[in-house]
Amino acid sequence: MDRLPKVSETKYRDSIIASARNFGWLCYFTWNAWHSPAGFPDLCLCHPELKRLVFAELKLDGKEPTEKQNEWLQGLAKVDGIEVYIWHLPADLDEIAEVLTGLKVKVH
């Protein structure tokens, strides 16, 4: 059985950002978190026309967020109007596409 080459979280992130920009999203990620507080989500995506703000934590399949990451994600999820996702890669690529194209909006 042939195995697909392993893709890094960084490669997935870069691909998600490129796709998001194609659909009109403004994208932020911390390039170097060396002096940043622990746990802040990997991506902040804003779509001014759709009036959406998304925070996403990216994890390769089989990995889970740390305690500090969960603290941030849970805190952000309590704010009205903010969508918060944990995207496992590559398992959640369909959901990512739905969010970026506006077909899925997380309501809490």
1-17 pLDDT per residue, tens:
456 567 899 999 999 99
- In whole angstroms, what is the distance from residue 15 CA to residue 99 CA? 14
Q: What is the pTM of this model?
A: 0.90
Residue with tokens 């009205």: 80
Instruction: Tell me what pLDDT residue 1 has.
Output: 47
Domains and CATH numbers, the chain: 9-30+39-101 (3.40.1350.10)
Helix (H) or strand (E) holding 53: strand 52-60
- In whole angstroms, what is the distance from residue 33 CA to residue 13 CA? 15
Percentage, residues of the chain above pLDDT 70: 94
Percentage, residues of the chain above pLDDT 90: 81
- In whole angstroms, what is the distance from residue 40 CA to residue 78 CA? 15
In this structure, of 4-8, 49-53, 59-63, the range with the lowest mean pLDDT score is 4-8
- In whole angstroms, what is the distance from residue 96 CA to residue 86 CA? 10
| Per-residue buried b or exposed e for 38-47, using 16+ beta carbons within 10 Å of the residue's own CB | ebbbbbbbeb
